[in-house]
Structure 1
Amino acid sequence: MIDNQIVASKRIFGLDFLRSLSILLVLFSHISWIYQSEGLVGKMQDFSGLIGIELFLMLSGYLVGSIILKQFLTQPYTIKEVGNFVKRRLFRILPSYYLILVINLLIAIYIGFSFADWWKYFLFVQNFTTPIPSLFPESWSLPIKELSYVAVVIILFAFAKQIRLDFRKTFFLMVVYGLLVLSFLLKVIYHIENPEFSLTKWTAEVRSVVIYRVDSVMFGILFGYYYATYKGFFQLKSSMFFGVGILLMLFFILLLLFFNLNTIAWFWNIIALPFISLIVLCFLPMLLSWHKASKKFGHLVTFLCNLSYSVYLIHYSVVLFLMKYFIDTTSFSLLELHIFTFVYLLITFTLGYFFYTYFEKPINAFRVSNFKLNGKKFFTR
């Protein structure tokens, strides 16, 4: 039976930790632009960016997908419920996103950068079927999340009147599995039609394109369903799942470090991303049972968690780009690069704090107060 408390407003520390870890991994990945890292360090930074974004996608899929499931199973699922869900998502994502997008556009105008497809960013289709343009490149993960939810909600709404309440769980699974299989088949088609392979090409044309990445969000939604249905089993076996996740991650890292996978197109195009999703899924049961930590560590994790979205939006195309644009670091010593990195992180978190405190947080408070689901507030960061 579905546990209706799965998306209750009570925060779970393990999920806050996961979100905090995600933004730190992304930051660690992007400072490779400062150091021009190569060798082992460069590979670790590439891997950290890969895992960091997957954590974001899977966690969001679990949280938001659980809300979609709850609505679909317990409500008539009319245009009112769907509209309320959409408004909550829009108010959660778009105000901050649009503000930083406008700042990116102003920066592009200032440096004389040409951007013909700027309008796509306002519709979240900048990387729907093609690689994302060079403007605001880190925004690629946001359309993957939001358009995946939109696809699920639209399909559920289209058939809601024809689906009996006692068949809705099955139909929900059919929709999610169907989108997962579709994403997999599109990867296979891409692999067949693109015999030339490089990791740079894969990053631009597969990893960052919506139609090939819907499966990551669907894996998160599926986990939310099965965790709610078999919660006791996952709690009992959480240590086992965590151990399997560690082994799979070590196996993946060893493959990257000691085997030449850069030329194995089928592995990257078809296998790599679902395999990473599987690794992340193994960690979730343990993290869901982690409800508290020491006071100091808890405050640090909460701080990073709260700032994660703001920091993600500003850290690369705004802060790091402008610092690199005005400061030539090519002749810097290692110590000077360390100082540059420290200043970069200080500026990023300082601006992230003010952006979160005086813009994102008030808007989110308005959203929670004015758009409720079933008269209850839900935690849907």
Structure 2
Amino acid sequence: MGGVITKQKIRGLDELRGIAAVMIVIYHIYQSYFRGIPNYNAEGVLVFPETFNPNYNILNELSAGVNLFFVLSGFLIHLLYANKYFDWQASKVFLSKRLFRILPPYYASVAIALAGGLVISYLKIDIWNVLMHVLCIHNFDYGYAFSIQAVYWSIAVEVQFYILYCMYRFIADRYTIEHKLLWFFAFCLTVSVIYKLVLYLSIDNVTISNAGMRWLMLYNTILRFPEWLLGALFFEYLPLIKKIKYKYVWILLLLVFTTVLNHYFVWHVFGSDLVYSIAFSLLIVSLTDLKKDVALFVFLGNISYSLYLNHFLIYSVWDTAWLRLLHLPRVASAERILIMVSGFFVCIAGSYILYRLIEKPAMNLKSVWVDAKSEKKS
């Protein structure tokens, strides 16, 4: 089960993590510049921007950094666990390792966001909202998915990916079936497509815009799970996929193809995520043989999780502070471009500090408390 790969051959994935994080940061800064991120209005109703407006440019496609994160996660998790047997003990070890890795920096980020929101009174905090975020189920409710920070929906989805993968392995490992991961992927993809079709046909377009419908589908774990599984599937068949010729040509064609067609809402809903994920999975396979590190992107890869979690919070404070200091309106201007460019570097610097203060110590604790205990039991 799974392609054979050595530790030395996966160094290129650090660079990809850095690239994915930078894509998301630029996307959010750009969207914030044009006020293109979902926000609550004075009545407390979540208002979605019409992100499919043709006036928006190619920078919208940088949101595909989330797709890249998902397929990277699927590839790496299956790389680490493809040849392990998931009994009850192994399943507990798997979930404890993954949750201890992802949750401490996330909880710290939520705490910072809540504290900041209470200080400047821009959040209406209720206990149920906080509890849903703690339990990573806030993406289940339309009103809570983006209520504290827009990026947190994907953390809930990622945690749920781990649980679904663990459940699949716990059941599937008891049966000898050829290509069982492929069959599971096909099943999940079919469910996802049917779910999208039903949602698309049943939602009243009068009460919610196309962009709003896209956001409804965005944070749905069932609809996004095939992307994660695609990364796992590409590792499963790594030797075979490595034989594909002209992989970079195919990657470029797939990216251009879906970027052009994303002007059409139906394609954006039913085809975009999958095609992006195929392209990124091919890119991951292509980079597994990278022989040299690119120091800048390795650095960005190391802080990528902290950067992803906190960049929107950091940039919002930076942007708001300068707007108030210079008495600028929230409209496009030369001053805001300077704020936007400088804010990008502030996000990186602030995320590096949080990485050193929170994420790195949490990783060290994980090594001592979780990894060491797991190795003793095994």
Matches within 5 A, 1:114-125: 114-116=124-126, 117-125=129-137
Partner of 1:109: 118
Larger mean CA deviation between 337-346 and 57-66 belongs to: 337-346
Residue 325 of structure 2 is aligned to residue 312 of structure 1: no
Partner of 1:242: 248
Structure 1, unmatched stretches of 5+, are 377-381
Amino acid paired to 1:356:
Y
- Return the TM-score normalized by structure 1: 0.82
Residue 172 of structure 2 is aligned to residue 126 of structure 1: no
Whole-Å Cα distance in 1 between the matches of residues 222 and 2 of structure 2?
29
Larger mean CA deviation between 125-134 and 89-98 belongs to: 125-134
2:217 pairs with one of 206, 216, 222: 206
Question: Does the 8 A contact of 1:307 with 1:352 survive in 2?
Answer: yes
Question: Does the 8 A contact of 2:105 with 2:306 survive in 1?
Answer: yes
Residue 213 of structure 2 is aligned to residue 217 of structure 1: no
How far residue 48 of structure 1 moved from its aligned partner, in angstroms, is: 0.9
Whole-Å Cα distance in 2 between the matches of residues 170 and 247 of structure 1?
28
How far residue 333 of structure 1 moved from its aligned partner, in angstroms, is: 7.9
Matches within 5 A, 1:1-381: 2-3=2-3, 5-6=4-5, 9-10=7-8, 12-33=10-31, 35-36=33-34, 42-49=56-63, 51-71=64-84, 75=85, 77-112=86-121, 113-116=123-126, 117-128=129-140, 130=142, 132-158=145-171, 160=173, 163-164=174-175, 167=176, 170-194=179-203, 196=205, 198-227=209-238, 231=239, 233-237=240-244, 239-256=245-262, 260-261=263-264, 264=265, 266-293=266-293, 298-316=294-312, 318-328=313-323, 329-330=328-329, 334-372=333-371, 375=375
Question: Does the 8 A contact of 2:261 with 2:267 survive in 1?
Answer: no
How far residue 154 of structure 1 moved from its aligned partner, in angstroms, is: 1.9
Amino acid paired to 1:150:
I
How far residue 19 of structure 1 moved from its aligned partner, in angstroms, is: 1.1
Question: Does the 8 A contact of 2:75 with 2:233 survive in 1?
Answer: yes
Whole-Å Cα distance in 2 between the matches of residues 36 and 81 of structure 1?
47
Cα deviation 1:286-324 (Å, max 9, x = unaligned): 11222314xxxx2211111101111111110x2122233
SS in 1 for 2:344: helix
Question: Does the 8 A contact of 1:34 with 1:337 survive in 2?
Answer: no
Q: 1:273 to 1:198 in 2, by over 3 A?
A: farther
Larger mean CA deviation between 128-137 and 241-250 belongs to: 128-137
After superposition, the CA RMSD in angstroms is 2.8
Q: 1:189 to 1:83 in 2, by over 3 A?
A: same
Whole-Å Cα distance in 2 between the matches of residues 11 and 88 of structure 1?
23
How far residue 40 of structure 1 moved from its aligned partner, in angstroms, is: 7.7
How far residue 217 of structure 1 moved from its aligned partner, in angstroms, is: 0.8
How far residue 246 of structure 1 moved from its aligned partner, in angstroms, is: 0.5
Amino acid paired to 1:19:
R
Aligned residues: 349
The structure that is helix-richer by fraction is 1
- Return the TM-score normalized by structure 2: 0.82
SS in 2 for 1:327: helix
Q: 1:158 to 1:202 in 2, by over 3 A?
A: same
Amino acid paired to 1:191:
Y
Whole-Å Cα distance in 2 between the matches of residues 55 and 122 of structure 1?
25
Percent of aligned pairs with the same residue? 21
Q: 1:169 to 1:361 in 2, by over 3 A?
A: farther
Structure 2, unmatched stretches of 5+, are 37-52
Larger mean CA deviation between 52-61 and 133-142 belongs to: 133-142
